[in-house]
Amino acid sequence: MKEEIKKIFKGEVADDEATILMYSHDASLLEVRPKVVVYPKDAQDVKNLVKWVDENKNKYKDPEKNKDWKSLSITARCAGTDMSGGAIGESIIMDFTRHMNKLVSFKGDRITVQPGMFYRDFEKITLERGLILPCYTASKSLNAMGGMFGNNSAGERTLKYGKTEDYILESRVVFSDGVERIIKPFPVSEILKKEEINKKIYQLIKKNEEEIEKAKPKVHKNSAGYYIWNVIHDNVFDLNKLLVGSQGTLGIATEITFKVIQNNKYSKLVVIFMNDLEPLGRLVDEILMFSPETLEAYDDKTMKLAVRFFPDFLKNKGLFGMLKLMWSFLPEFLMMVTGGFPKLILLAEFAGKNDVEVQSKCIKMQNNIKNFKLKVHITRSEDEANKYWDIRRESFALLRKHVKGLRTAPFIDDIIVRPEFLPKFLPQLNTILAKYDLKYTIAGHAGDGNFHIIPLMDFSSPDTAKIITDLSLKVYTLVSQYHGSITAEHNDGIIRTPYLDKMYSPAVLEIFKNIKEIFDPKSIFNPGKKIATENLGGTKEYITNHIAKE
């Protein structure tokens, strides 16, 4: 395979053991070995390889199993930070970060980049002009732009500013025929003049309008299944709304044009301590009236973890910084000593054009929630605010570092229900989790009810696979009872595709299957994700057979 690809491909092609092993993993709990890894030099390489795979699809079937998912396919990959297994596959991995990582153009609020550009480099460019892409993820120092497009990524500021799909103006995408197309919105009235793929998707949506609308998750964000709800909106047809979040299962993006916005320079964090979850839904509603930039949360386990492993927070602070941080943690130490740890800590961040405006917002919000009789603290400095953000962002790394013999197991890592359901939902969730001997913390985006739970597990235990599949089913069943989504922003990948039937009816799953067939009839793009088909992967058995050994 390697030598044949090199004939039509300018970039590097590798199949040595070290490369195969490295690309057998992403940030998920899975291990899937590819046959070869390629590094495209440009869009022509992508087009050539897609066309070659399409023409040679059945040439490399596994002679023993004779299953289609063993035949040729392409899994597009950027930084490999996907926790769902979306960036691993059994055939060809196409890594964009080596060569296709450049700025294409930047005019006004429009910036066009190649998919392999890291967000950290993207943000450096935009901040020089006082602009930002506000849907950045918690892993923004690691992730790349193509991954944000593929997963429809979101993060701390999504509450106010929306997800990646809200910032895609245009894209260049190679479809299964090897042709690169410019994808941008156009009036619905022009649909008959457009290519067949547009007309087929339009007809599919119109034919199933009632079923599609009924299936829409009643939450602020959702990346489960194909996001078909916004393709036709305000008499505009935009195929990007479907391609964003499709995890490279419908086509491969070679250029992406983002809209960026002005970045507020001034911000302040308000910390709210809750001893009782009962008023959480009402409290969130009150806080949202003041349009915070973010409304994050973490539980008492997370706070206790920070206090327990306090020395880790002191590293690299210097003597003066160490003393300041120790002093700032005094209230938390006192809480721990007196046994009065809060059940949940909320972080509400407000931003504006100057300090006076921001402080005014904080005080107004604080006064408005006085009737809840909670301890509320407006941070006095960026350093003090960073202390709470460090706890929110670094707690899991702390847990992983200090618990030996266990590794991260993201599989119920991205659930979401509406905030008004949280007072009932969170205790029920904890009851389910308590039946398993797991170490975990709960943190997430309280403003939209999106929580991340990533247990630590012993992957050498024979019970691990059963716990993962059983617990997934129980948690996702609970989520469905509250009309939520099994994945708000991390997407389906391998780990959640088998559970899409907990959210969607057989009719909607059939619509998803039709979408895949329209774009990718031979299943050459990232098979086994989004569509659960026995001979293509995407099953619970596939998960069990591909849990990483170490």
Q: What is the pLDDT of residue 341?
A: 74
Q: DSSP string spanning 366-393?
A: HHHTGGG--EEEE--SHHHHHHHHHHHH
Residue 66 has pLDDT above 60, yes or no: no
E strand or H helix at 170: strand 168-174
- Check residues 41 and 392 and name the one with the higher pLDDT: 41
Please say if the pLDDT value at position 323 is more than 80.
Answer: no
- In this prediction, residue 18 carries a pLDDT of 97
**Angle CA(111)–CA(113)–CA(119) in degrees, nearest 5?**
95
Write down the pLDDT at residue 397.
Answer: 65
Q: How many residues are recorded in the chain?
A: 550
Separation in Å, CA 191 to CA 180, 198, 403 = 19, 7, 57
Q: What is the average per-residue pLDDT within 66-94?
A: 87
Of the candidates 59, 57, 16, the one whose C-alpha atom is nearest the C-alpha of residue 34 is 16
Buried b (16+ CB within 10 A) or exposed e, 329-346: beebeebbeeeebbebbb
Q: Return the pLDDT at 483.
A: 94
pLDDT-derived band at 316 (thresholds 50, 70, 90) equals: low
Nearest to 190 by CA among 151, 236, 154: 236
- Is 132:126 a contact under the CB 8 Å cutoff? yes
pLDDT single digits (tens) 18-53: 999 999 999 999 999 999 999 999 999 999 999 999
Q: How do the domains of the chain map onto residue ranges?
A: 2-98, 99-263+405-550, 265-402
Residue 74 φ/ψ, nearest 5 degrees: -125, 125
7 pLDDT tier (thresholds 50, 70, 90): very high
What is the number of other CB atoms lying within 10 angstroms of the CB of residue 41?
Answer: 14
CA–CA separation, 494 and 350 (whole Å): 37
Give the integer Cα–Cα distance in Å for 58 and 68: 8
Model confidence over 107-132: pLDDT tens digits? 999 999 999 999 999 999 999 999 99
Model confidence at 400, in pLDDT bands (50, 70, 90)? low
Q: What average pLDDT does the segment 220-245 reach? A: 96
Q: What is the pLDDT of residues 240-276, one digit of tens each?
A: 999 999 999 999 999 999 999 999 889 999 999 998 8
Region 223-252 average pLDDT: 97
Q: What is the pLDDT of residues 429-483, one digit of tens each?
A: 989 999 998 888 888 899 999 999 988 899 989 999 999 999 999 999 999 999 9
pLDDT-derived band at 539 (thresholds 50, 70, 90) equals very high
- The b-or-e profile of 75-100 (16+ CB within 10 A means b, else e) is bbbbbbbbbbbbbbbbbbbbbbbebb
Q: What is the pLDDT of residue 383?
A: 79
Average pLDDT over residues 383-390: 82
- Mean pLDDT of the 525-548 span: 88
- Mean residue pLDDT of the chain comes to 90
CB-count burial class (<10 Å; 0-12, 13-18, 19+) for 316: exposed
Quick count: other Cβ atoms within 10 Å of Cβ 389? 17
Cα–Cα distance for residue pair 545/494, rounded to 1 Å: 12
Question: Topology of 99-263+405-550 in CATH?
Answer: 3.30.465
Separation of alpha carbons 36 and 23, rounded Å: 9
What is the rounded distance in angstroms from the CA atom of residue 27 to the CA atom of residue 79?
Answer: 10
> Residue 3, class by beta-carbon neighbours within 10 Å (0-12 exposed, 13-18 middle, 19+ buried)?
exposed
The band of 381, judged by pLDDT with boundaries at 50, 70 and 90, is confident
3-state secondary structure 403-461: CCCCEECCCEEEEECCHHHHHHHHHHHHHHHHCCCCECCEEEEHHHCEEEECCEECCCC
Q: Is the predicted pLDDT of residue 399 greater than 70, yes or no?
A: no
Whether this prediction's pTM lies above 0.85 is answered by yes
CA distance 269 to 64: 59
pLDDT digits 0-9 by tens, 134-182: 999 988 889 999 999 999 999 989 999 999 999 999 999 999 999 999 9
Domains 2-98 and 99-263+405-550 share a fold: no
Share of the chain above pLDDT 90, in %: 74
What CATH number does the domain located at 265-402 have? 3.30.70.2190
Rounded average pLDDT over 213-219: 95
Confidence band for 335, pLDDT divided at 50, 70 and 90: low
* Neighbouring residues of 358: CB distance < 8 A, sequence distance ≥ 6: 266, 267, 268, 350, 351, 352
Residue that the structure tokens 């998803």 belong to? 512
Using the predicted structure, report yes or no on whether residue 544 has a pLDDT greater than 70.
yes
Among 16-25, 231-240, 374-383, where is mean pLDDT lowest?
374-383
pLDDT number for residue 540: 94
Can you give the pLDDT at residue 532? 80
pLDDT, position 1: 84
Distance CA 129, CA 107 (A): 11
CA distance 362 to 351: 9
Rounded Cα distance, 98 and 284, in Å: 43
> Which residue's entry shows tokens 């059945």?
58
Q: What is the pLDDT of residues 480-505, one digit of tens each?
A: 999 999 999 999 999 999 999 999 99
d(CA 245, CA 252): 12
What pLDDT is stored for residue 68 in this prediction?
45
Q: What is the pLDDT of residues 265-311, one digit of tens each?
A: 899 999 999 988 889 999 999 999 999 999 999 888 777 776 676 66
Residue 457 main-chain phi, psi, to 5 deg: -140, 160
Q: Which residue has the higher pLDDT, 262 or 326?
A: 262
pLDDT recorded at residue 512: 97
232 DSSP β-pair partners: 237
pLDDT for 70 beyond 60: no
pLDDT of amino acid 69: 42
CB 455 within 8 A of CB 438: yes
Which numeric CATH code is attached to 2-98?
Answer: 3.30.43.10
pLDDT at 391 (0 to 100): 76
Comparing 206 with 405, which gets the higher pLDDT?
A: 206
Contact 173, 139 (CB under 8 A): no
pLDDT at 354 over 50: yes
Q: Would you say residue 324 has pLDDT above 70? A: no
Query: Among all chains, which residue has been given the structure tokens 């991340």?
Result: 452
Task: Indicate the SS3 state at residue 256.
Answer: strand
| Confidence band for 531, pLDDT divided at 50, 70 and 90 | very high
